[in-house]
Amino acid sequence: MTQRSLTLGRHIVSPPVVLAPMAGVTNAPFRGLCREFGPGLVYVNEMVMATAVVHGNAKTERMMTFTPDEQPRSLQLYGSDPVMVGAAVRRLCDEGRIDHLDMNFGCPAAKVTRRGGGAAVPAKPNLLRAIVREAVRAASPYGVPVTIKFRKGLFESLLTHVQTGRIAAEEGVAAIALHARTAEQHYAGTADWDAIAELKAAVPDIPVLGNGDIWEAADAVAMMRHTNCDGVVVGRGCLGRPWLFRDLVDALAGRPVQSAPLLGGVCDVMASHARLLAVHLGENLALRDFRKHTAWYMTGYPVGGEMRGRFGMVSSLAELDDLIAMLDPTTEIVPGGERIRRGHTNGPIRVALPDGYLDRLDDIVVPDDDSAMAVSGG
């Protein structure tokens, strides 16, 4: 495969690999850990709400943390009010806080879509266009590129991905990413890579990134060959496996990919991750948050249910070290262990929408975007 690259403002990303923003996961410690394995790629911060940015919500301010060496500083924003989105983008750019802005039009979480945000927005093309236009207009004077990420649509009966891609291209978006599932599908079933190919064919003049079911580096190669997309966005596949970004760099350069690490190597990374998180959040909060990560790190390794349960209750770095010392570092991953799904697997779901939201798809009536101060999603 010919080596490709992605240009985002003054940053050239090669290979074109992006870490998808994930709520409660892609904070500064996790991004830094991934960056150790794959320097020079794009690692997007957690999604934040435009209204919360404008009002300076304390939780949102903490979430918008970047380390001094982080380049590019990528943040994902969502909102359903074009004016509020524009104000948020101007603040972020004017304060020099970001190098790249990603807009979320794909989050299926009820707390997001019931306010008309995330995956709900593309159902209303005029509203989508107004939001994207304001974001690009606000970011352009600062040289900050805007990208957008979205799904196929709300349901199979209301597919909007091609229309969304065309609007993005017309409004000056730097690149687009498609998670090839509907909001209703959530995270169930199989990603529809044919939809990515359809999108790329429809908007050939803008970079199209594919997202969905990249569990191993070979999947990224297969997706790009199947769809002719320009790069990939990786989400759940890297949970408990930040070395996936090293593998992606090697595979997309045509180099052999390393074998899955032994359990001892996994534990070394896990312990490092926990310590980075403790510096970021404080040890007590960090270890409570880290419990979910322990399950992901040990996915595919035969450590036993009792030990998994003990890791799932870990409350201190010392306890984590003691538990790690009880494991056999020479344990190998089970055959196919890399492909065991991590993170969300549920679906289909009932998509939550504002009352009457689908009655008039051509309007630009803004839902009550100012009723919540800080909502994060994935």
Rounded CA separation 100/97 (Å)? 9
Q: Is 107 a catalytic residue?
A: yes
130 close to 95: Cβ distance less than 8 angstroms: no
- Please enumerate in sequence order all residues whose Cβ is within 8 A of that of 150, keeping only pairs 6 or more positions apart, or say none: 105, 106, 119, 122, 160, 161, 164, 176, 177, 178, 179
> What is the rounded CA–CA span in Å between residue 184 and residue 275?
37
- Confirm if 351 and 154 have CB atoms less than 8 A apart: yes
Q: Cα(76)–Cα(103) distance, rounded to whole angstroms?
A: 5
Check if the beta carbon of residue 287 is closer than 8 Å to that of residue 280: no
User: For the chain, what is the total number of helices (H) and then of strands (E)?
Assistant: 14, 12
Selected catalytic residue, list 93, 107, 229, 238:
107
**Residue 15 preceded by cis peptide, ω within 30:** yes
* DSSP string for 312-378: TT--SHHHHHHHHHTS-TTPPPPTTGGGS--S------PPP--TTTTT-TT------GGG-S-----
Strand boundaries in the chain, DSSP class E: 6-8, 11-13, 17-19, 42-49, 74-78, 100-105, 146-151, 153-155, 158-159, 175-179, 208-211, 231-234
Nearest-5° angle of CA 152, CA 155, CA 156? 75
The separation between the first and the last C-alpha atoms of the chain, rounded to the nearest angstrom, is 30
Give me the active site residues, please.
107
